[in-house]
Amino acid sequence: MRHRKSGRKLGRNASHRLSLFRNLSRALITHERITTTVPKAKELRPFVERLITLAKKAALAADGPDGKAKALHYRRQAISRLGPTHGTGVYEKNGDLAEVNDTVLKKLFNDVGPRYKDRPGGYTRILKLHKRRLGDAGETAIIELLKEGETKPKKERSAAAPAPAPAPAGAPVGAAS
């Protein structure tokens, strides 16, 4: 029984799962939109959102007193979560050449973190795709970072059902007719 055991194992041991999340989060930060399976996307969301929260805190801390030390602390926490290849290059394809523009860590702290300064959370969106994965027919989904200032669309509530009609005045309550 799995009582009170959160998280999916995804058919991997703990170190392989951590490596998977690190690689997927690097790809998501680099491309801002990736396609993967639905369970992986659902498990990746909290991992990435914690990284973005660290970058956001660093952007907010840089404004205040003693901000550089706090920002450095948040950056080092993100480095430890992203692992030893935190400086992986972000490539931009210009024609035939692929040039290294920035690192994942720099993009996270310079672009992605400040983008969500005013947002309290929920930096990613998961969109399920109809197309199944070739091979094992796994359900696929797109996980993407929200754009700056983008909000979740509000669902319109349908009108409430009318109240039941009152019982006639002369009829006793609960009596069968």
Task: Report domain extents, the chain.
Answer: 14-145
Give residue 57's pLDDT: 94
Average per-residue pLDDT for the chain: 87
Percent pLDDT > 90 in the chain is 60
- Mean pLDDT to the nearest integer, 26-48: 95
Closest to 124 in 3D by CA, of 61, 177, 49, 176: 49
Neighbour order of strands in the sheet with 33-37 = 33-37, 139-145, 124-132
**What is residue 3's three-state secondary structure?**
coil
Give residue 41's pLDDT: 97
Closest to 101 in 3D by CA, of 30, 22, 23, 24: 30
Closest to 50 in 3D by CA, of 20, 91, 80: 80
140 vs 155 pLDDT, higher one: 140
Does position 158 have pLDDT exceeding 90, yes or no? no
At 101-136, the pLDDT tens digits run 678 999 999 999 999 999 999 999 999 999 999 999
128 vs 88 pLDDT, higher one: 128
Structure tokens at 131: 């197309």
Annotation: CATH topology of 14-145: 50s Ribosomal Protein L17; Chain: A, (3.90.1030)
- Read off the pLDDT band of 175 (50, 70, 90): low
144 vs 154 pLDDT, higher one: 144
Is the distance from CB of 159 to CB of 50 less than 8 angstroms?
no
Does position 177 have pLDDT exceeding 60, yes or no? no
Closest to 108 in 3D by CA, of 70, 153, 74, 137: 74
Give residue 49's pLDDT: 96
2 vs 37 pLDDT, higher one: 37
Give residue 154's pLDDT: 72
pTM: 0.78
